[in-house]
Chain A
């Protein structure tokens, strides 16, 4: 582990970009700029922005060919599978776009440890070895000690455990890593600070900088993998895509021992009435994915079941390295038939077996195990 001399974080780094006039820059690229970028080996941040611009749209097919080539070269003909496990939907945040929003009235639930074990058994039967556990933000209902207890149980069934929970302090990450957590997923949701304040009305999540620094804290604590992302639709696609890419590049550079991935979630319908959404069509989503791949050849790209089966099938060829399967966004959803509120609607209900078949058909080896947390033996 490298010694951290000063605790600088992405909060400092991002200030370098705040004065950039992205709206103006994005329309200034020409077809020649795009041709030049596509012929380069190492892309700069401005090259990345160029690929997100309207000028790059007519070049999507050519970009896609490069993206596929780079992905296969770096990751092989291989896609990893994982599934989310929702532990608790208690939440004290008021995030306008989320079904678990504190002001939405729903009957909340937190899994007992017995229920966690049953969910784990049910998921393990599918053969999956990688699990992503999720909670809402409530230190009262799902404190770190509860997460740790759950991790101890899950460790019996899975070789890799990632958490997508509220942001923690560095020493809390150290504690969970010792318990067997090896990955942290944390979405900034929206990198634009004004919009961030507008959609995160109350609760601890309204602290923009604390959330932005989360990957730094987890990395310093010794995590193996970090997955970041912007919830696409909360601001203009190119600026959110740009900042996500800059964030990933910063993490790769600052913590070279960490495997960095990006998720590309689009806002989905949910309980509540937030509708102030920038529409991101499939074409823009693809443009974003391809631009990431060319800018950051070694970064993982994760695709969740927020997207439809048809779209996911097509995106697999373009640079995806991790894909969820057999997903449910409901607490207890892997074992219970009970009708409960979901965090968001999922659009692809296919099982692990179905996804494996599909990947093989498309010429990709489905990988159910790609890490093994090894304790002292």
Chain B
């Protein structure tokens, strides 16, 4: 299977994971290694640069692609500052922009996200913006130079699945960049569903981190993502609600 390529990096495992909700940081390497996870997002707000064992980065294996995120940023300016701090402290130049100024639903602010994307792309970052699936906003993110688009499936942490399915489908059809479904995926079947639709990858945090056995759950998600991708590239047959004769309308032409 062809790998996903972002910033000239080959990503063969299309399951990305978040790190913020595990019951212990020590479990993170097991989750990553047992499923061969390659892309990991870490909230810079949680990274304690002064501490050794408390530093979450110490728990991320060296071969992984680190995608720090700007969780906690309430506007473009804060996101830009957090991103610059991430790079200055050795977290690389990938950045997942999260701009959220609604603490009840944790829905992203697309307008501020576009602003931050513009600034950070100019600054040389590989920008992966988290967004509400809106085609116009996605086009502006493309113009701004984003490396991928990360629309939400449902609000963060809700495990409600692909509630935004039709809007994400439009992004997949219209946007040339990789579409990575981020947030709201609660079950492996939902991850498979996103991949079958043609998503380039999915990012899962809560559903893995809060499972009774996160290591096994990550494996389940990883397999589902792979199955969904295989189905997509194999050409999914269209679904139909009714059984139909093969050519009821044009049969007379034979």
Q: Which positions in A face B, CB cutoff 8 Å? A: 1, 72-78, 127, 129, 159, 224, 252-253, 256-260, 298, 360, 363-365, 367-372, 374-377
Contact = CB atoms under 8 A, between A and B. Distances in A.
A8 to B, nearest CB: 19
Interface-centre pick from B23, B47, B50, B101 (highest chain A CB count, 10 A): B23
Contact of A258 (B103, B159, B209, B210): B103
B103 A256 contact: yes
B217 to A, nearest CB: 13
A-B pairs, 9 with minimum CB distance? A76-B21, A77-B23, A257-B101, A374-B81, A256-B102, A369-B48, A363-B23, A257-B74, A72-B210
A304 B212 CA distance: 29
A127 B88 CA distance: 22
Main secondary structure of the interface of A (DSSP, over half): loop
A127 B54 contact: yes
Given A73-B159, A75-B21, A78-B20, 4 more contacts: A73-B158, A76-B21, A77-B21, A256-B102
Contact of A377 (B24, B75, B85): B85
Contacts of B136: none
Contacts of B157: 73-74
B243 interface: no
B163 interface: no
Interface residues of B, number: 34
B85 A252 contact: no
B88 A377 contact: yes
Nearest to A360: B24
Contacts of A368: 48, 51, 54
A365 B84 contact: no
Interface string B145-165: 000000000000111000000
Contacts of B102: 256-257
Contacts of A159: 48
B30 interface: no
A298 B210 contact: no
Contacts of B21: 72, 75-78
Nearest to A260: B103
Interface-centre pick from B50, B106, B159 (highest chain A CB count, 10 A): B50
A78 B27 CA distance: 13
Contact of A370 (B22, B46, B78): B46
A157 to B, nearest CB: 9
A159 B47 CA distance: 11
Given A127-B54, A368-B54, A371-B45, A376 B81 contact: yes
Contact of A252 (B22, B72, B104): B104
Contacts of A257: 74, 101-103
A250 B206 CA distance: 28
Contacts of A372: 44-45, 47, 72, 82, 85
B85 A367 contact: no
Contact of B206 (A73, A260, A365, A370): A73
Nearest to A300: B103
A374 B74 contact: no
Interface-centre pick from B24, B82, B158 (highest chain A CB count, 10 A): B24
19 contacts: A73-B158, A74-B157, A76-B206, A76-B210, A77-B209, A78-B20, A224-B74, A253-B104, A257-B102, A257-B103, A364-B23, A365-B23, A365-B24, A368-B51, A370-B45, A371-B45, A372-B44, A374-B82, A374-B85
